[in-house]
Amino acid sequence: MKNTEFKDLVLFITGPTYIRPEIRQAGTYCEFGHRDKVAKVKVESILKNLRKLAGVNEDYEVCLVCGSGSFAMEASIRSLVKDNENILNVSVGAFGDLYHKMTASNKKNVDLLKFKPGKAIDLNKLEEQLKSKKYDVVTFTHNETSTGVTNDMVKVCKLIQKYGAMPLVDGVSIFGGVKIPFDEAKPSVYITSTQKCLGLPAGFGIMFVHKDALEKAKSVESRGYVTDLVSIVASGQKSQTVTTPNCTLINQMMEQLEYIVEEEGIDNRFKRHEDMQKMVADWVENSLSDDFKFFSQEGYRSPVVSAIEIPKYVDRMAIKESLREKGYLFDPGYGKLNKSLEENGENLNIRVGHMGDITPEMLSKYLEELESEFKKYKP
Ligand SMILES: Cc1ncc(COP(=O)(O)O)c(C=O)c1O
């Protein structure tokens, strides 16, 4: 099949996500030399607006990493964990497990504290673990994309810091959708990427690095070359990247961040995501039958992705194809999680990504279509 023969779909998955026409258009702007003065102006604008969106002060360095969120996560492990130190990975799902895989494959002294899928981090259990051993670094996921759970970042960071450890936070799927509490939580490193709530194609990891973390990185050996936080930050300070960046994405990112900060407005963007979570909650609770419920723990439901448990009589893969015909890309749930739920005879999940530039109007139409799909199936 030729590229032009693929249908133009609105993506309701959890990243990559829907890209506004203006940003698709920005993908056609002229390429530029990444060490030329033009690059400096563009990246400077991007970093300035990322700072505004994050609301960080001068305690934090902001930098772009060529690659994606995973690349930045691995850089944080390589650059901030010494060989004789202990690190704890706290996981509430697939992406907490991903941080663990990276830590283990880099041969660090690591423990894993895992919570049941759908649950948030239990602070009492975390505290027990932190009392049991001296940890130097602790990682956790701010927004667990596989289960639609958002952890209480402030409480978790404060607890980790109480025991003298550095919190490294994976905020890949939530940054740009809600206010990140940098001031209160003071994470050592906060990581995100372009293809989720920022409404851009994939291609950069984004790192917010606290000055204390940067100081520590200087004393860590074997940080690698492209994963070296010290040179990543040094490049960021010059409005550059360590290696050749995706210049097309820089063009798109510059436009998109200008739009978020100057046109849509940061608070409006956060409010829109909050409203969309409420719309989905209202839909699950009041429009769907009792056979459908949230998979994620009440009080910790994500403002940017909803995981919904569906009854066994609904064929989610048939729905995916039916919605494709109607111009949507439906999310039939996180694959590995559904596989394990299936093996245990439990109900499976679907997900609705309501992140980035999806609007309440788009979401409303989509939920209507989805509901009519569900109605095709009877208990
Ligand atoms: C919470 C979370 N962490 C990490 C990742 C990995 O990020 P990337 O795909 O940008 O490498 C993802 C991707 O879906 C994610 O949702």
CA–centroid distance, 286 to ligand 1, in Å, is 32
Q: How many helices (H) and strands (E) does the chain have?
A: 14, 14
CB-CB contact of 276 with 342 (8 Å): no
Looking at domain 3-16+266-374, which CATH architecture does it have?
Alpha-Beta Complex (3.90)
Same fold, 3-16+266-374 and 21-262: no
Distance (Å, whole) CA 65 – CA 74:
11
- Ligand 1, atom 12, lies closest to the CA of 172
Whole-model pTM?
Answer: 0.98
Contacts of 335 (CB under 8 A, 6+ apart): none
How far is the C-alpha of 358 from the C-alpha of 301, rounded, in Å? 18
- The identity of residue 350, as a single letter, is I
Q: Is any ligand 1 atom within 6 A of the Cβ of residue 68?
A: yes
Using the atom order of ligand 1, give the atom closest to the CA of residue 174. 1
Per-residue pLDDT in tens (0 to 9) along the chain, 379 residues: 899 889 999 999 999 999 999 999 999 999 999 999 999 999 999 999 999 999 999 999 999 999 999 999 999 999 999 999 999 999 999 999 999 999 999 999 999 999 999 999 999 999 999 999 999 999 999 999 999 999 999 999 999 999 999 999 999 999 999 999 999 999 999 999 999 999 999 999 999 999 999 999 999 999 999 999 999 999 999 999 999 999 999 999 999 999 999 999 999 999 999 999 999 999 999 999 999 999 999 999 999 999 999 999 999 999 999 999 999 999 999 999 999 999 999 999 999 999 999 999 999 999 999 999 999 998 8
Residues ≥6 apart with Cβ < 8 Å to 177: 196, 197, 269, 270, 273, 303, 304, 355, 356
> Where do the domains of the chain lie?
3-16+266-374, 21-262
Which of ligand 1's atoms lies nearest the C-alpha of 195?
10
Judge if the beta carbon of residue 15 lies within 6 A of ligand 1: yes
Tokens of residue 204, six digits: 């950069």
Q: Which residue from 77, 149, 173 has its CB within 8 A of the most atoms of ligand 1, so it is best to mutate?
A: 173
Into which CATH architecture does domain 21-262 fall? 3-Layer(aba) Sandwich (3.40)
CB 97 within 8 A of CB 46: no
